[in-house]
Amino acid sequence: MSDSIKDRVIAILAEQAMLEPGDISPEQSLEDLGIDSLGLVESIFAIEEAFDISVPFNANDPTEGDFDISSVDAIIRAVQGLVATQAA
Amino acid sequence: MRRVVITGQGTINALGRNVPETLAAMRDGRCGISDLEFQDVERLSIRIGAQIKGYEPEASFNRQQIALYDRFTQFTLLAAREAIGQSGLSFSGELATRSGVVLGTSGGGMNTLDENYRTVYEDGKNRVHPFVVPKLMNNAAASHVSMEWNLKGPSFTVATACASSNHAMGQAMQMIRGGMADVMITGGSEAMLCFGGIKAWEGLRVMSKDGCRPFSANRNGMVQGEGAAVFVFEDYDHARARGAEILAEVVGFSMTSDAADIVMPSKQGASRAIVGAMRDAGLNPEDVGYVNAHGTGTTANDKTECAAVADAFGHHADDLMISSTKSMHGHLIGGTGAVELLACIMALRDGVIAPTIGYEEPDPECALDVVPNVARDVKVEAALSNAFAFGGLNAVLALRAA
């Protein structure tokens, strides 16, 4: 299950960055991938739709909601955490 | 080139039902933001706004009018009534053909759209009220003002998101300056506080859940408001000849385009608009005592705007006052520049500078005198009003004391 979360998050980010999923590595930041603030908001929307979760994120204060966007890996872990807590 | 003066002002917004109530609230630093009340609000994550509470259309309009007037048109008509009443003008004969209306709005009849989409999509009905189109169209308010007061000259509506009103008032000013009209009714209106209106903004993740704190280090987004403000712009000689009271002179206007990003503001585009307005007005930076900021309370706008002001004014940026009254009346989107012009006129006429309320923590990236929390008594000779829209469209007006 957690592998599939990882793959799906990477697929979402890859689509946003117009890259192949295989070209994305976990330590990369969104900036590395060329995803800007609008791209981030759109990616979060896609993640919410894909996993049926609500992501606490305010573009004015990206650190506010404990949703770590510092790297691809951080985002995957944050999504795994939200899926686990919001799956109930 | 003809001079343009303001001879009437009117408003309705969360701070007051008219200009005196609104200015008193700004002077007191009162906040018009509260819990939103409308259908399906519980399905929103953003539930605050500067909503006009206790508003009853029936108190001002009859049944037929309510069937035709969306909320944004109602607000416009109420503000226009106050403004035109104050000006003492009535329009007939030659003056009627030399007078027009140019208003700003972004969403137009958003409540009408929302209600009728609900009817057909959610309720599954197959029939809507016959007046949906004339009610929701963006130019409905301008047209109803022209009909109500017999204004037969150039009339239209401007929609440039958050700069709509400033663009509208800039056009009105230039039409009088250039001799196309003698009187222009101008300003703007917005009534976007409905489920669809807020839901759309929610998606962009730039809205605050708890308050509007422009320039404060702990700001976390914008808060929407609703309402209208309308002004009577008049040829100076025409106003003088009839002995009208002049509230302020509109001396400059500038618009620029960032040509850069659909949502992120640009320092250069904003700065060029500010410099352009001063140049058009023949003002030096040190002549300007007050700037009504765009000041949305988002991280990006406020720091970019402060950098633009510093860039445009040079050393004088440290001596002028800049406040965001959105902290009190919220962000009226297409109507916001109009309500904010009231604060500029108050500064010039009454020597009262409206504060930026909700200011809690200094932000080194917004290190200007933002008139935190408490209004200030200072006489100023000239003021600017900034508006920087999504899409990178900037419009700045310059006013001088009468």
Taking only the tens place, the pLDDT of each residue in B239-284 is 999 999 999 999 999 999 999 999 999 999 999 999 999 999 999 9
Q: Which residue of B has its CA nearest to A58?
A: B205
Question: Does B204 touch chain A if contact means CB atoms closer than 8 Å?
Answer: yes
| Res. B223 pLDDT band, cuts 50 70 90 | very high
Set B144, B238, B294, B329: catalytic member: B294
The answer to whether B331 is a known catalytic residue is: yes
CB count in 10 Å sphere of residue A28: 17
CA distance B327 to B325: 5
CA B39 to chain centroid: 26
Contact B31, B46 (CB under 8 A): no
- Indicate whether A88 pLDDT > 60: no
Distances (CA, A) of B402 to B165, B345, B364, B383: 22, 10, 36, 12
Question: Does B212 touch chain A if contact means CB atoms closer than 8 Å?
Answer: no
Q: What would be the CATH architecture of the domain defined by B252-401?
A: 3-Layer(aba) Sandwich (3.40)
The CATH number of domain B4-241, selected from 3.40.50.1110, 3.40.50.10860, 3.20.20.190, 3.40.47.10: 3.40.47.10
| Res. A61 pLDDT band, cuts 50 70 90 | confident
Tens digit of pLDDT for each residue in B350-392?
999 999 999 999 999 999 999 999 999 999 999 999 999 999 9
CB B204 to CB A44 under 8 A? no
What range does the domain containing A46 cover? 2-86
Please report the ipTM that was assigned to this predicted complex.
Answer: 0.81
CB count in 10 Å sphere of residue B17: 18
Interface size between A and B, measured as CB pairs under 8 A: 33
Domain ranges of chain B: 4-241, 252-401
The answer to whether B162 is a known catalytic residue is: yes
How many domains does chain A fold into? 1
Contact B139, B101 (CB under 8 A): no
Set B238, B306, B331, B366: catalytic member: B331
| Chain A hits for B203, Cβ within 8 Å | 41, 45
